Amino acid sequence: MKLISGTAHPALADAIATHLATTVADVSVSAFPDGETYAKINENVRGEDVFIIQPTCPPTNHNLMEMLILVDAVRRASAERITAVIPFFGYARQDRKDQSRVPITAKLVANLISAAGVDRVLTMDLHAAQIQGFFDIPVDHLYAKPVLLRYLKEVRGEDGTNLTVVSPDVGGVKMARSYALALGAELAIVAKNRISATQVEASTLIGVVEGRDVVLVDDMTETAGTLCAAAEVLKENGAGRIYAAVSHAVLGPLGCERILKSEIDEVITTDSTPGGCEEKVTRVSVGGLLGEAIRRIGEGKSVSSLFDIDGSTV
């Protein structure tokens, strides 16, 4: 087994390697003066089971292209099998034609990954689960839920007694319900109206939050507009402490500023993407979860047990 890391998130690759009691392979990645990416594998990978770890987070195009170049280098070096480990799958929100004459870019990216020579994909909390069907190769789809739940239970001491899990939009109800069942908590929904790519208006609350702690659940946040708008509605309706449990926090300056000024007490997210925001954001590692999945894939064992809600296998 060989672990190879691109430049998108080497810290996560190191965490995965630590869990597996191994090291990341020696790889050189650089750029030519005109911006073209150059990669060289400095170790023998002939006949090896290779795992290339590269979230396609911002800069998305650069990280995606770098991963494809690494895949091509490994394939031409005669690796036995190549697995693309993509903790955060960029372009996942472009999964359908919602307007005339627009692309389905998530499908295009799936095609590019397959054409480059990837044999298998390992990813986590896709924005739309059906994206798995865009690939004609096996896809192992993990969930960050066990890791986030463990933090809520063990660190924040939440046992569901005085807790409500809230979906910040109607589309996230299924995910929020699974968290509520796992925590033994109540469920509520905030209906939202998206004004633009960066502006969201939260309007109606369905459920009871008065005097209760609240956990907002979402798969990803970038500008934090949805979360912050929902938190404002929840606080107006008497909510106590407000947490946000988010699988992927791809936060830029706007998102960090909004969270800092919002009613949210803490955003709990994973290290599926590199850090951003020093205040109010806690990142819990999925290195163990991904590492265990890689171990089982390498050994030909079942990965499905990693979906256990209590996370006891990681």
**Token digits for 160?**
């569901």
What is 217-285 written as a DSSP string? Answer: EEEEESS-HHHHHHHHHHHHTT--SEEEEEEEE---HHHHHHHHHSS-SEEEEESSS----SSSEEEE-
For residues 174 and 180, the answer to whether their CB atoms sit within 8 Å is no
- Please confirm, yes or no, whether 192 is among the known catalytic residues: yes
Chain CA centroid to CA 229, Å: 22
**Element (DSSP H or E) covering residue 52:** strand 49-53
For residues 92 and 131, the answer to whether their CB atoms sit within 8 Å is yes
CA distance 31 to 285: 30
Looking at residue 78, what DSSP letter applies? T
Number of C-beta neighbours around residue 237 at 10 A: 16
CA distance 124 to 95: 16
**Token digits for 217?**
């659940």
What is 83-103 written as a DSSP string? Answer: EEEESS-TTTT--S--STT--
Nearest to 295 by CA among 20, 53, 52: 20
| Catalytic residue (one of 192, 235, 261, 280) | 192
What is 91-152 written as a DSSP string? Answer: TTT--S--STT---HHHHHHHHHHHHT--EEEEE--SSGGGGGG-SS-EEEE-SHHHHHHHH
Question: Could you list the active site residues?
Answer: 192
